[in-house]
């Protein structure tokens, strides 16, 4: 525990509210825990994909490629054909956001990987 400090020119003692070292240590462990969880889920997703058929893996790659091409080539024609005005870019963004949300929802429905069956031994 930290020792109270005497304020100069004042007869009162003050206790620091936060100890910098303790806060840094706590932040480090929170960050480590979050990265460990992310890494564990990533490994589980990779392991779950091992049992997939080749067509599912190929379908995932083709779907992602077609989404990128559609968003990058087709939708960008909106601002190009409208003269690259501010309004055309606003329309592009208002169309792009729901399209990406739809593409992500479809990807999650069609190509989601079930990682609930994979369990690592906790130490």
Question: What CA–CA distance (Å, rounded) separates 8 from 27?
Answer: 32
Q: What is the pTM of this model?
A: 0.57
CA distances from 10 to 3, 5, 7, 13, 16 (A): 17, 11, 5, 8, 16
Question: What CA–CA distance (Å, rounded) separates 121 from 88?
Answer: 53
Kindly report, residue by residue over 21-52, the tens digit of the pLDDT.
778 888 888 888 888 888 887 887 777 777 77
- Report percent pLDDT > 70 for the chain: 77
């Amino acid at each position: 525990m930290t020792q109270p400090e005497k304020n100069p020119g004042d007869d009162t003692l003050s206790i620091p509210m936060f100890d910098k070292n303790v806060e840094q240590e706590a932040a480090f462990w929170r960050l480590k825990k979050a990265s460990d969880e992310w890494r564990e889920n990533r490994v589980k997703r990779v392991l779950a994909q091992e049992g997939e058929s080749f067509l599912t893996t190929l379908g995932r790659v083709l779907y992602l490629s077609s989404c990128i091409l559609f968003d990058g080539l087709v939708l960008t024609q909106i601002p190009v054909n409208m003269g690259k005005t501010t309004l055309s870019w606003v329309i592009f963004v208002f169309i792009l956001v729901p399209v990406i949300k739809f593409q992500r929802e479809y990807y999650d429905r069609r190509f989601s990987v079930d990682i609930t069956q994979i369990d690592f031994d906790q130490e």
